[in-house]
Structures are given as C-alpha cells and as structure tokens.
C-alpha cells in the first residue's frame, strides 16, 4: 500500500538528510556548470570550466575537449545522476516506506561523493601550473563532495528511528 507522508510527519533525520542532499545538489550543479574551475591571471585574464572557457569577456564552449577533460566531465556527470537517484530514493522512501530505498540512497550518495572527489583530483592534477589558480567553482565541487559524508552518516539513524517507531 502506498502512503504519502508530508514533511511534517518526517523524522528529523530524514529532514536533515534531505536538506544535505539538496544542498549538495545545488552546490554540485553550480560548480559543475560554472566556467570558473581555473583562473589564469596575467595580462589577459582567462577562466575555464568543464564546459566553457572565457577569454577577455568572450565565452565559448569546450566542444573539442579530449582526454582528461572528458574523464572529469564523465565523472562529474555520473555524480550528478547518482545524486539525483539518491534523492529519488529518499523521496520514494517517504511514499513506499521500504528500507531498501534508504540503503540504495546511502550507496548512491557514497558513490556521488567518490565520483565528485575523483573528478576534482583529476582536474587539479592535470590543470595546475605556474600562473594558474583554482577557481571558486572548483572549491564548490569539493564542498559538495564533503557534504555527502554527513548526508550518508545521518541515514542509518533514520533506519534505527523507523525500527524504534515500529516497535
């Protein structure tokens, strides 16, 4: 039987988990799409992201990106998909009350954090040299990855809370 629970009926653990997941999603989308992963200072300022690069106020798509840039794009895109899947599992749990959805969400969120951090490490290892600084979007991605840690850690408390309430 399907039942819909409003947020007022949700446990504090579920509310915290959803808040952390949505914060992570917002930060990941912002960092993922912004053309400020690296900043090149000097006579001509340039900022480059995963998808676009801007040079003297003119931006263009990185359509011909190859090699490690494609790898980072793939890692970050997969992280976005798994994060959305994790949120869908959490919302589905509020409808179906099947504990496996919480466990799937925990797995997907863990994978999301690992994928984001792998992409960030790959990007930093291949793009940093003299005159190049990492931009704010790069650091937002690190923050999004770090938010997945408490987002995963609070979910076992939700499982314990459900077991306690069912008694």
Q: Which domains does the chain have, with CATH numbers?
A: 12-56+63-166 (1.20.140.150)
Across the range 137-157, mean pLDDT stands at 94
pLDDT of residue 27: 97
d(CA 119, CA 142): 10
Q: What is the DSSP string of 66-117?
A: -THHHHHHHHHHHHHHHHHHHHHHHHHHHHH--HHHHHHHHHHHHHHHHHHH
d(CA 53, CA 60): 6
Chain position carrying tokens 């504990």: 99
Q: Name the band, by pLDDT with cuts 50, 70 and 90, for residue 167.
A: very low
pLDDT at 1 over 50: no
Is the pLDDT higher at 63 or at 7? 63
Mean pLDDT of the chain: 85
Q: Name the band, by pLDDT with cuts 50, 70 and 90, for residue 5.
A: low
pLDDT of residue 66: 74
Backbone torsion region of residue 59, taken as left when φ is above 0, otherwise alpha when ψ lies between -120 and 50, otherwise beta? beta
Across the range 127-134, mean pLDDT stands at 77
Q: Name the band, by pLDDT with cuts 50, 70 and 90, for residue 121.
A: very high
Residue 17 in contact with residue 151, Cβ under 8 Å? yes
pLDDT at 111 over 90: yes
State percent of the chain over pLDDT 90: 47
Gyration radius of the chain's alpha carbons:
19
- Per the DSSP assignment, residues forming a β-bridge with 39 are 47, 133
């Amino acid at each position: 039987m399907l039942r819909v629970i409003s947020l007022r009926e949700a446990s504090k653990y579920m509310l915290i988990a959803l808040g952390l997941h949505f914060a992570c999603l917002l930060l990941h989308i912002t960092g993922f799409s912004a053309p400020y992963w690296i900043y090149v200072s000097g006579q001509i300022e340039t900022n480059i992201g995963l998808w676009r690069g801007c040079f003297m106020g003119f931006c263009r798509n990185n359509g011909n990106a190859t090699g490690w840039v494609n790898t980072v794009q793939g890692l970050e895109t997969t992280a976005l998909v798994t994060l959305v899947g994790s949120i869908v599992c959490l919302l589905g749990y509020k409808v179906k009350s099947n504990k496996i959805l919480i466990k799937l969400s925990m797995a997907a969120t863990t994978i999301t954090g690992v994928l984001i951090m792998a992409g960030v490490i790959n990007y930093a290892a291949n793009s940093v040299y003299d005159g190049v600084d990492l931009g704010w979007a790069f650091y937002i991605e690190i923050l999004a990855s770090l938010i997945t840690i408490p987002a995963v850690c609070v979910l076992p408390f939700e499982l314990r809370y459900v077991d306690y309430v069912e008694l």
